[in-house]
Amino acid sequence: MLRIGAVALGVLAAIGVSDLARAREATSGGDWVRYHNQRFGFRLDYPADVFHIERTSKADDGRVFAARDGEAHLLVGALRNEDEHSPKSYQDFLARDSYADYKISYRVLRDDWLVLSGEGGGKIFYEKAMFSCNGQLISSVAMIYRAEQRDRFDPIVARIADSFVPGRAPCQASEARPRRGEPPARPAKAEPTTPSDTPSDWRARVADRIARERGRDVIVVLRRTVPPYDYKYVRGYAPR
């Protein structure tokens, strides 16, 4: 899995309507193409005459693009929100763990997306992360480039960020409702809980039990049996 925050990106201190209009005008002459990830469904537009594909993850959860002159990297990918981050906690996590060497100069926080940008060591970074599937999936786009190339890459980052659409493929099944007359599918019977259990406690125990039975780490999908029939992904660990 590509960890988007591990590399990063940066750009305009604020991306407003006028900024986006200028970005489209400044980049209108490039060879822009669309990348659409089949596994998770996120997509964006990028200039193929500037970036080439450097690496695609084996799990097909993301891709790394490199500028042909080596002056910038563009990363895009998605990951399941197994740590149950909120946009605020994920923004803090990125600032602390991925961009500790940068001076954060711009933050945006909304109900289901966030932006971080800053500068350090002669480089600019920018990252935009969007939550989908009722917060179960985080899709991110990030770019890093040299500060001396700001005039060249700022408009490109603005247009890429404007075109970015988060993934929804994993949640399409959970949004489906059973057809009339058909009972909802039921998950495997879970272990009984005690009053002291939190939802995450018993889910973890169920996942660990399945992992022990199978002798390997697993990801268990739990489905709610009443509306909204959503899914919960829990990782189970087998004894080592």
Average confidence (pLDDT) over 62-84: 94
Residue 176 or 201, more confident = 201
Q: Which residue has the tokens 């189970």?
A: 236
**Across the chain, what does the average pLDDT equal?**
79
Q: What fold is seen in the domain 4-173? A: Protein Transport Mog1p; Chain A (3.40.1000)
Q: Give per-residue pLDDT as tens, 58-67.
A: 889 999 999 9
Q: Where are the domains of the chain?
A: 4-173, 183-236
Q: Give per-residue pLDDT as tens, 187-213.
A: 444 444 334 445 556 677 777 778 677
Distance CA 21, CA 215 (A): 55
Residue 89 or 212, more confident = 89
- Confidence bin at 13 (pLDDT 50/70/90): very low
Q: Is the pLDDT of residue 6 over 60?
A: no
- Confidence bin at 214 (pLDDT 50/70/90): confident
Name the β-bridge partners of 236.
218
- Confidence bin at 235 (pLDDT 50/70/90): confident
Count the neighbouring beta carbons within 10 Å of the beta carbon of residue 126. Answer: 26
Q: Is the pLDDT of residue 216 over 80?
A: no
Residue 70, pLDDT score? 85
Number of H helices and E strands in the chain, helices first, is 5, 11
Average confidence (pLDDT) over 96-124: 96
Q: Is the pLDDT of residue 219 over 60?
A: yes
Average confidence (pLDDT) over 214-230: 62
Q: What angle do CA 85, 198, 169 make, to 5 degrees?
A: 40
Cα distances from 214 to residues 210, 220, 225, in angstroms, run 6, 12, 25
Average confidence (pLDDT) over 124-148: 97
Whether the CB-CB separation of 145 and 71 falls below 8 Å is answered with yes
- Confidence bin at 5 (pLDDT 50/70/90): very low
User: For residue 62, how far is the Cα from the chain centroid?
Assistant: 9
Count the neighbouring beta carbons within 10 Å of the beta carbon of residue 42. Answer: 25
DSSP string, 1-48: ---GGGS--B--S---HHHHHHHHHHTTTS-EEEEE-TTT--EEEEET
Average confidence (pLDDT) over 110-123: 97
Average confidence (pLDDT) over 15-30: 51
Whether the CB-CB separation of 150 and 26 falls below 8 Å is answered with no
Class of residue 215 by CB neighbours under 10 A (exposed 0-12, middle 13-18, buried 19+): exposed
Strands (E), the chain: 32-36, 43-47, 51-56, 62-67, 72-80, 103-109, 113-120, 123-132, 137-146, 218-223, 231-236
- Confidence bin at 26 (pLDDT 50/70/90): low
Whether the CB-CB separation of 90 and 114 falls below 8 Å is answered with yes
Residue 163 or 237, more confident = 163
Count the neighbouring beta carbons within 10 Å of the beta carbon of residue 216. Answer: 11
What's the pTM? 0.65
